[in-house]
A and B are shown apart, each in its own frame.
Chain A
Amino acid sequence: MKMKTMRLLKRVSALLCLLLCAAVLAGCTALPEGVDAGVIEEKAKQAVDLVNARDFEGLIASMREDAQEVADPEAWAAAVNPTLDEAGAFVEYTGTSVAGQEQEGEKFVAAVVTAKYENANLVFSLAFDADSQLTGFWVRPG
């Protein structure tokens, strides 16, 4: 009985590990049809360039219409400027990654740009829709 239980436990553990791996592999990087990872990376870097120039109005203008309506350039400046002040001058981009996902029926693309600054590294996370339009933007120290 105990041997049987142990064998069952081993099988359940192996199955769960396999399911987890399958879930990771299945949905990790599937980009929506027609979306070019290179284009998204370029757009993401352009958005970060606008942030580095502290051009929040320009950044918001580059977003999808419904996202523009709820974004306030002054609030964004107040939220992001302290992080940029602490980080210092931009040095170089250190990495980019693009991945796709479907959430509540809507396909979206997540782009992440990492960059080195004089005093810190920053991680920029951006969300794009299936038409490669910017819909969300976040930044945090990395």
Chain B
Amino acid sequence: MLSTVGIPTLLGLCFNILVALALPVAVLIWLAVRRRALVWPFLSGALTFIVTQMLLRVPLLSWLGTTAWFTAFTMVQPVVYSLLLGLSAGVFEECGRYAAMRFTLRGKQSWQAAVAFGLGHGGIEAVMVVGLNNVALLAASIAAPGFYPLPAAGEVFMAGTERLFTLLAHVGWSVMVMRAVQRSKPGWLGLAVLLHGLVDGLIGILQMAGLGIYGIEAYVALCGLGMLAYTIVTIRREALHENENNAPAETG
């Protein structure tokens, strides 16, 4: 029955579903049970992804793809196109994050909210880009093995792994944008846009340079870990700052 779809490939699909569907749902349930105040920031992050990407950026890019001038531009300027594509993700998602944090998280702007926001944002992206697709692929692979051609098992695992590191990056960008909101310093928003744009834009350029899937995923992992380091450093500093500010109020 499973002769045309190997067990490692099926395990890869299960891993992707675990990471890109079960994990975001589990985080949401955990927040609902243990940290109810962070449920709204999580949902706000998810909603921001749906609005800025699914309702705004993707339709805009789809429309541009139907125009002759833009298609010609993508053919003659693939590197600039890749950078613009990345930068557009940065502009839409980070500005959306900024607006959502400013207007939907009034009175709840904290680093904890930023982390929950990032988990919601990256979580829904994982669900929509990988999770649901992999559920369908797993069902199809079991019902009709070999009907849908799948890549090698190692490459299947990469989809879920990439989502994990992307989630870390989204948490980092959320913490960065929260800094812009809390301190009224748009420079942090600019930095988030720029970093998001560069991280996304360089993926296309590295592909053009001939880097294979494992090289690309290593690059994504590096970016995710970089953003994790930024998140940890910022949170430790913010927690220290909060403790200093809260101490007199609590004792007084």
Contacts and interface: CB of A to CB of B under 8 A. Distances in A.
B84 interface: yes
Interface string B60-85: 00000111110111011101100110
Nearest to A121: B66
A9 interface: yes
Interface stretch (B24-32, B184-192, B212-220, B234-242): B184-192
A12 B187 CA distance: 11
Q: Of B67, B69, B71, B87, which is in contact with the most chain A CB atoms at under 10 Å from its CB?
A: B71
A28 B73 contact: yes
Contacts of A23: 77, 79-80
Contact residues of B: prevailing secondary structure: helix
Given A20-B87, A125-B75, A97 B69 contact: yes
Contact of B194 (A13, A28, A100, A113): A13
Contacts of B71: 97, 112, 114, 123, 125
Q: Which 9 pairs show the lowest CB-CB distances between chains A and B?
A: A101-B76, A97-B68, A110-B75, A142-B66, A95-B68, A97-B72, A112-B68, A97-B69, A6-B187
Interface string A62-82: 000000000000000000000
A9 B190 contact: yes
B76 to A, nearest CB: 4
Interface residues of A, number: 28
A16 interface: yes
A28 B66 CA distance: 18
Nearest to B83: A20
B67 A95 contact: yes
Nearest to A7: B187
B77 A123 contact: no
A111 B190 CA distance: 36
A111 B73 CA distance: 10
Interface in A88-104: 95-101
Nearest to A23: B80
Contact of A6 (B75, B87, B185): B185
Nearest to B190: A13
A24 interface: yes
B199 to A, nearest CB: 14
A13 B125 CA distance: 27
Nearest to A98: B72
Contacts of A9: 187, 190-191
A20 B71 CA distance: 18
19 contacts: A9-B190, A9-B191, A10-B190, A13-B190, A20-B83, A23-B80, A24-B73, A24-B84, A28-B77, A96-B68, A97-B72, A99-B72, A101-B76, A110-B75, A111-B72, A114-B71, A121-B66, A125-B71, A125-B72
Contacts of A123: 65-66, 68, 71
Contacts of B77: 23-24, 27-28, 101
Nearest to A111: B72
A12 B198 CA distance: 13
Contacts of A110: 72, 75-76
A114 B76 contact: no
Interface in A12-26: 12-13, 16, 20, 23-24
A43 to B, nearest CB: 15
Contacts of B73: 24, 28, 99
A43 B71 CA distance: 18
A13 B196 CA distance: 13
Interface in B34-81: 65-69, 71-73, 75-77, 79-80
Nearest to B75: A110
